[in-house]
Amino acid sequence: MASVRPPGFVVDPGLRVVFDTLGVSPADVFRRAGQPEDLLARAPVTLDTPAFFAVWEAMGDVLDAPDVGLVIAQAITPDVVTPSVFTFLCSPDLRTALRRVAQFKPLVCPMAMAVHTAEDRTLTLTMQWTAAEADPPTSLIGFELGWLVHLARLATRQPI
């Protein structure tokens, strides 16, 4: 019998390492977001869109940095092996990496991505928030953009 994924967006257990790297207490973040303090100890963890956005708002509040999304994105290193990081770094080129991430992004975030390649080999990435009920937190927008650039730099070893 096939398993059914719970509704919502999967919270990556690798987030624990990111919290550690940033010196942030997961309990503080989850408490601010109205979630159980031990959320990462539960498996599998999924959040609906409002709860997902509340966690990102709380991370922004706890870190209290003007570019909080970039700070979080740069805390992700190759040793934080999550399926999306592994898939990205194991791709033969940037286009493939982005397409693979785009395929699975809706499982972990209320966002859809599309990758287009022009005749001149220019890559265009389109990101669309799929949650109609609220705008995403600025911390999440900054993270998504910073994360992709950060991973592209790690994978290509180029100053993208």
pLDDT 10s digits, 10-43:
887 778 888 999 999 999 999 999 999 999 888 7
Residue 84 phi/psi, 5-degree rounding, is -70, -40
Sorting pLDDT into bands at 50, 70 and 90, what band is 6?
low
Residue 58 has pLDDT above 90, yes or no: yes
What's the token pair of residue 31? Answer: 């408490």
Task: Give the Cα separation of 96 and 91 in Å (integer).
Answer: 6
* Mean pLDDT of the region 70-75: 89
Looking at 54-58, 81-85, 138-142, which range is the least confident one?
Answer: 81-85
pLDDT digits (tens, 9 = 90+) for 103-131: 988 888 899 999 999 999 899 999 999 87
Cis peptide before 44 (omega within 30 of 0): yes
Residue 125 vs residues 43, 67, 97: alpha-carbon distances, Å: 32, 22, 12
Check the CA dihedral 21-24-30-33 and report its sign.
negative
Q: What are phi and psi of 125, to 5 degrees?
A: -110, 125
Burial class (CB in 10 A: 0-12, 13-18, 19+), 44: exposed
**pTM recorded for the entire structure:** 0.86
